[in-house]
A and B are shown apart, each in its own frame.
Chain A
Amino acid sequence: SQTIHQWPATLVQPVGSPLSLECTVEGTSNPNLYWYRQAAGRGLQLLFYSVGIGQISSEVPQNLSASRPQDRQFILSSKKLLLSDSGFYLCAWRPGNTEAFFGQGTRLTVV
């Protein structure tokens, strides 16, 4: 069966520090991969999605970037965090264009 791993679960980082969040999927190949951010009490905001290795589409211009170095690995990065980058970050995968499956999320607090 397929599983998705996202880590860390919680992260507190100072303003101006770098960020790297990692997501990996097991049990499938060539998944569509997604990074979302969710503000408290709000819906999901799509940040990036990828349909293949090295293929990244950005939905919202901001202080973040994404990379897909391997088929089942998706990384969210920032060179210098801002206070406004605080939030709940979710990685998800889709087998095609149907339903999505989520990781458990990373709660990022920038101080």
Chain B
Amino acid sequence: QKEVEQDPGPLSVPEGAIVSLNCTYSNSAFQYFMWYRQYSRKGPELLMYTYSSGNKEDGRFTAQVDKSSKYISLFIRDSQPSDSATYLCAMSGGDSNYQLIWGAGTKLIIKP
């Protein structure tokens, strides 16, 4: 079993829809949780960073961490075609403090 599981998709939704992206993990020591957006042939761009449990909102993006369920989510409201990209989750903590443990990434397609 991988430490971080993420559905690779692709996930295709119409413009304006609410998008939900998720990752599950197995290491209860993880404390730092991140979401990245990666456009084709570009480096990943940090979208959201959360420490421990709870919600964090930034514009149309909301990150949620549920440590009891070992589950993190990224919500995108009013999705736009420019949101079409691959979204990667990453986390660290405990023995993995020097490393980030990555999900495989979910390819998101927003249809105009």
Contacts and interface: CB of A to CB of B under 8 A. Distances in A.
Interface of A: 6, 32, 41-44, 46, 49, 51, 57, 59, 88, 90, 92, 94, 97-105, 107
A99 B43 contact: no
B32 A98 contact: yes
Interface of B: 6, 8, 32, 34, 36, 41-46, 49, 51, 88, 90, 92-93, 97-100, 102-105, 107
Given A102-B45, A105-B41, A97 B105 contact: no
A88 B100 CA distance: 18
Contacts of B97: 97
B43 A90 contact: yes
A46 B103 CA distance: 12
A100 B100 contact: yes
Given A43-B105, A99-B32, A99-B34, A104 B98 contact: no
Nearest to B6: A43
B43 A103 contact: yes
